[in-house]
Amino acid sequence: MKKFLSYILPLGIGIALFYFLIVPNLDFNELAKTFTEANPWWLVLSSVFALISHWARGARSCMLLAPLGYKVRAYPAFLAVMVGYLTNLALPRAGEVARCGVLQKMEGVPAQITFGTVVTERIIDVFILFGLVLAVLALEFERISHILNSSWENLFQHVSIEKMYWLGAVGLAFVLMIGILMYVFRKKLRMFLQSRLGSFLKGIWQGILSFRNVQNKPLFIFYTILIWVMYYLMSYVLFFIRPETATLTPLQALAILVMGGIGMALPVQGGIGAYNLLVGKTLESYQIAPNPQQNIDLSFTIGTFMHIVQTLVVLIFGGLAFILVWFVSKKDTQIRQEEAGIANTP
């Protein structure tokens, strides 16, 4: 039940955001036109930048695991990252668990160790995103603060007081249900904490502290910078697909990256709804079309186009990574079975 709710609640929030706030301002004809008339080379270039970023993330994770005694190859680490992103489309934050499972299956790294290094990576990414937010706020404070305030207001303008009470009641009932379940199964929970969690948390802590012992810190910093530069470029090149956004400045593109990063960080599947809203509102603030209503519609349409492109990259290459992981794991299992058969032969 808990797993079901952890899936359905974020999905419901994402769908609600998209349906109530994006669809009313989405021009499906313009969206189709953007895809059909797009220069495919800009799409390819955006995909290449995205894959370089994901590869750099995998290579960086290898550097965190090396001081802990695990020499992980970049290829399996890259596959693990892609499978993780694919999993996040179905269940927020479950991608980290899937990523740990892939490395455990392919490289023999204990899941709790990998998870600790993933926590370290997330902490680093949060600090970088926070720094970018501060930089953009310093350069365009009035614009960004207006976007955030208007997005918050739009979030509730379609929700009545009765619905707010109903949502509050559902949330309270959910919290009470979790509390009751924890009380009913308190003995089993205590046994679990005593028998398993201690060693698991120890492994996580070792992973978190792994950065202290990274041998080549300049290379680690280079990979970190590369990840975010590629994030920036994979969005920036998409602006050249439409003449309305081709004139956006690098600073304006950075603001859109930051707002999109906040949307993707929110606990909804693949940033659906949240990414579209924040990127759309940012584009709207730059007046990419002369007519006010056309400006709103085109802004949300282009924001949705960018989100679809990024999601398709994850679906395609994450799906391929999942198939490769399955194939390699199956092949390794067959080899182990054959070796066991030979060893048991008299």
Q: Looking at the domain assignment, is residue 128 inside a domain?
A: yes
Q: What is the pLDDT of residue 43?
A: 96
* Domain assignment of residue 99, yes or no: yes
**pLDDT tens sequence across 80-93:** 999 999 998 877 77
Residue 238's pLDDT is 94
Range of the domain at 45: 2-330
Q: How far apart are CA 125 and CA 131, in angstroms?
A: 10
Q: What pLDDT was estimated at residue 337?
A: 53
Q: Using N-to-C axis directions, what is the helix angle for 217-236 and 40-65, rounded to 10°?
A: 160
Distance of CA 3 to CAs 7, 8, 9, 10, 183, Å? 6, 9, 10, 12, 18
Whether the pTM exceeds 0.85: the reply is: no
**Ranges of the chain with pLDDT below 50:** 1-2, 156, 159, 343-344
Say what the pLDDT of residue 266 is.
77
Number of domains making up the chain: 1
Token reading at 92: 């927020």
pLDDT of residue 24: 80
In this structure, is residue 343 part of a structural domain? Answer: no
Query: Domain for residue 272, yes or no?
Result: yes
Residue-wise pLDDT tens digits, 179-217: 787 677 777 666 655 555 555 555 555 556 667 788 888
Residue count of the chain, please give it.
346
Supply the pLDDT for residue 52. 97
The CB density around residue 118, as the number of other CB atoms within 10 Å, is: 24
Q: Which two tokens stand for residue 252?
A: 């304006």
Smallest Cα–Cα separation from 242: which of 50, 30, 4, 3? 30
Amino acid 97: pLDDT = 86
Contact criterion met (CB below 8 Å) for 263 and 270: no
- What CA–CA distance (Å, rounded) separates 252 from 1? 44
Assess if residue 340 is contained within a domain.
no
Instruction: Name 89's Cβ contacts closer than 8 Å, sequence gap at least 6.
Output: 269, 270, 311, 314, 315, 318
Q: Is residue 33 part of a domain?
A: yes
196 belongs to a structural domain: yes
Residue 247 inside a domain? The answer is: yes
List C-alpha distances in Å: 140 to 39, 132, 146, 246: 31, 12, 10, 20
